[in-house]
Structure 1
Amino acid sequence: MSANTRIKAGDLTQEHVGQFVSCHDPESGYVYAARIARIMRREEGNSPGVSIWLEHPSLPSGRRARGGLAHVRFDQEFELVDTI
């Protein structure tokens, strides 16, 4: 059983590292959980926001596991996936 919670990127803290967010692979249509590996707030510069490093699993479509970085606005919403 799982419960999902919506959260804005600006509300993510170091306590969220190790948790999972819902992701979608547009090529295959799969929805999957990616693990948050690192979070860094960037208040200054040309593009303030939150940098989030994710660990994406391999998918049944054949896509291999990979790491990825997303830099998003503070108001960007994510869906935390909490497996119980």
Structure 2
Amino acid sequence: MGRKWNNIKEKKASKDKNTSRIYAKFGREIYVAAKQGEPDPESNQALKFVLERAKTYNVPKHIIDRAIEKAKGGSDENYDELRYEG
């Protein structure tokens, strides 16, 4: 393959890495918000706020739905919200 293809491949890999990181971050945030309160965004303000932010980053609906369903299911995973001050 030529250098042109390598340039395209490098740009695509970089972009894919960033988008997957963003999707994973919002998946965890949605899971935590749904787990702490109701999985319904109308009754859970924290979840509603996270969903609005996720939509601004164009997070796919299947990722949002999967995180909410995972929180409803009551799996053994436990994500806690932490804040570090530095």
Greater percentage in helix: 2
Q: Same fold (TM over 0.5)?
A: no
**TM-score interval, normalised by the smaller of the two chains:** under 0.3
TM-score under structure 2 length normalisation: 0.26
TM-score under structure 1 length normalisation: 0.27
